[in-house]
Structure 1
Amino acid sequence: MKRLTTGIILTVLTLILAACGSDDASDADASEDKTINFGATSGPYSDMVTEAIAPLLEEKGYEVTNQEFTDYVQPNKALANGDLDANLFQHKVYLDSFAEENDLDLSEVIIVPTAPMGIYSNTFDSIEAIEEGSSIAVPNDPTNLARTLIILEDAGLITLKDDIDPLRASIQDIGDNKKSLEFVEVEAGQLPRLVDSEDLSAVPGNYALAADMDLLDSLALEDMPDDYRNRVVVNTEDLDADFTKAIEEVVQSDEFEQIIDEEFEGFSKPEWMKK
């Protein structure tokens, strides 16, 4: 009888311990979420997530989803409210401005290769061939206009006044317009179409790619400052999270750079990648 009683007690204890162990394992699994919900604007940066970042994260055991957006407002709002874990679509200037205006606590993880703005023409085949008095379509928003003027200065077509910040330059800040270019200011999204109607058109990289233009067909591509390159962004509270570290690791990998070289020709690499 004693042996029977002892056997029953041991069996019960074994079952209890097994149940506890199962609960602990379940708790551990629940705490280790291996899903990353990305968001990116339709086009090259959504492609970068699905073709370069996601496959490398999946090799690390993560399940990656990617939600596409057609505007520049919802990706940050979706990130802030928890619908996304990370997004990829914006440069530092936009991120800082949007976060401040909307009282969001967002932080960049790492800068990625970015499609540069270019000067395109169906009239001239080189910068040197540009004639006096040629028309050039330029974006009418301050950020992209300043980028255009920097490209034109780098190409030797204009010089900017000494006492201005190039990142905030406007047409009024041109000191020497060496070819007497005529500036036509339009919304950035219209610039690809104006390659046909104007002598020159300064087209941001994302709009050029959306219009099936080849970045390498430009007369000049911008040597963009890192502030204008796109970056992966997360909520600041997630900066030290495992999934954030995993994203940074895959973007810094040789495999990622190889995919960029093969699939994203013409993209401008960030300074960290050039070292």
Structure 2
Amino acid sequence: MKKLTFVLAAGALALSACGEEEAEVAAEAGAEEVQEITLGATAGPYSDMLNKAIVPQLEEQGYEVEVVEFSDYIQPNIALDNGDLDANLFQHTVYLEGFEEQHDMDLTALITVPTAPMGIYSNVYDSIEAIEDGATIAIPNDPTNAARAFLVLQDEGLIKLDPEADTLTVSEKDIIENPKNLEFKPIEAAQLPRAVEGTDLSAVPGNYALASDMDLLDALALENMPDEYRNVVAVTAENEDGELAADLVEIVESDEFEEVIDAEFEGFGKPAWMTE
């Protein structure tokens, strides 16, 4: 009986030692716990940019990433502000700053990324030079994108704008020369791809062009957009100095990121910092 008691006690000690060893291993694994994050983007090129150019590098750094796609430009910032997202990618700086002010939020643009430019498209003309007197061009009916359209037309020599006008808010009233007597037809930006069929010309923002399976390189002219109109990776102001923010900036500035952009996002305009 004494011998049996000794054997049982020895077994208990062995099991206890084994249990402690497993606990130590589990504790060590816990110390290297994966950080789960959620990123948001509108469906299309910018969710693709997250998935192809940013998420793989985040995962290499130990993050577990979920990407949430949105179908509008309102919810991604609401989700970021209330903590459902850790960062988003879908908007340019002008939109971000206006949204912050309108909705009393404190968000931060971390870094500008390559962005699909607005283009002048036509099924009637095959070049800017071929545009005839009195041609009709569909333009966005919202002030921000309309200003972009007028700047493209000026860059192509089709109109001249008042040099005193603010380039971020120029409108039809700021046109001082219109040598081809272009007629402007303001419509909602999302409808501009369809307008290629019903008007002589259409100024289509890049994201809507891509969503309609249009090739950016088919445009008669592409926008040389100011960086204020290029999309940004955004976080809340309280997280702009955090580890994730630093990692996102490092990834976007990496050679690997640019290689994916060059291979997968042909026609996207690069921000100034990538071309200096």
- Is TM > 0.5 for Structure 1 vs Structure 2? yes
* Pairing 1:134–2:135 present: yes
CA distance in 2, matches of 1:20, 1:135: 74
Please state whether the residue corresponding to 1:107 is helix, strand or coil.
Answer: strand
1:20 is displaced (CA, Å) by 11
Amino acid corresponding to residue 119 of structure 2 in structure 1: G
1:197 is displaced (CA, Å) by 1.1
Structure 1 runs of 4+ off > 4 angstroms? 17-30
| 1:101 alignment partner in structure 2 | 102
Post-superposition Cα deviations, 1:67-98, rounded to whole Å, max 9, x if no partner, equal: 00001111111111111100000101110111
Please state whether the residue corresponding to 2:124 is helix, strand or coil.
Answer: coil
| 2:124 alignment partner in structure 1 | 123
Return 50-59 or 219-228, whichever deviates more: 50-59
5 Å matches for 1:155-174? 155-174=156-175
CA distance in 1, matches of 2:191, 2:30: 53
Please state whether the residue corresponding to 2:214 is helix, strand or coil.
Answer: coil
Post-superposition Cα deviations, 1:33-64, rounded to whole Å, max 9, x if no partner, equal: 62221000001001100111101111222111
Post-superposition Cα deviations, 1:135-186, rounded to whole Å, max 9, x if no partner, equal: 1001110000000000000000000012211211111110000110011111
| 2:254 alignment partner in structure 1 | 253
Aligned residues: 260
Structure 2: unaligned runs, 5 residues or longer: 1-12
| 2:240 alignment partner in structure 1 | 239
5 Å matches for 1:49-64? 49-64=50-65
* Pairing 1:148–2:132 present: no
CA distance in 2, matches of 1:36, 1:215: 32
**Equivalent pairs: percent with the same residue?**
59
CA distance in 2, matches of 1:246, 1:262: 22
* Pairing 1:222–2:217 present: no
CA distance in 2, matches of 1:150, 1:45: 24
1:19 is displaced (CA, Å) by 11
**TM-score normalised by L of structure 2:** 0.89
CA distance in 2, matches of 1:19, 1:211: 55
Please state whether the residue corresponding to 1:201 is helix, strand or coil.
Answer: strand
| 1:6 alignment partner in structure 2 | none
**TM-score normalised by L of structure 1:** 0.89
Q: Relative to structure 1, is the Cα distance of residues 103 and 24 closer, same or farther in structure 2, using a 3 angstrom cutoff?
A: farther
1:271 is displaced (CA, Å) by 0.5
5 Å matches for 1:75-86? 75-86=76-87
1:21 is displaced (CA, Å) by 7.8
Structure 1: unaligned runs, 5 residues or longer: 1-10
The CA RMSD over aligned residues, in Å, is 2.1
Post-superposition Cα deviations, 1:238-270, rounded to whole Å, max 9, x if no partner, equal: 111111111111111111101001110000101
CA distance in 2, matches of 1:130, 1:236: 47
CA distance in 2, matches of 1:55, 1:206: 23
Alpha-carbon contact 1:160-1:166 (below 8 Å) kept: no
Return 219-228 or 102-111, whichever deviates more: 102-111
| 1:39 alignment partner in structure 2 | 40
Please state whether the residue corresponding to 1:83 is helix, strand or coil.
Answer: coil
* Pairing 1:66–2:67 present: yes
CA distance in 2, matches of 1:159, 1:178: 9
Amino acid corresponding to residue 268 of structure 2 in structure 1: F
1:218 is displaced (CA, Å) by 0.2
CA distance in 2, matches of 1:227, 1:201: 22
1:24 is displaced (CA, Å) by 7.9
Return 208-217 or 57-66, whichever deviates more: 57-66
| 1:8 alignment partner in structure 2 | none
CA distance in 1, matches of 2:243, 2:260: 24
CA distance in 2, matches of 1:259, 1:20: 42
* Pairing 1:198–2:199 present: yes
Alpha-carbon contact 1:135-1:198 (below 8 Å) kept: yes
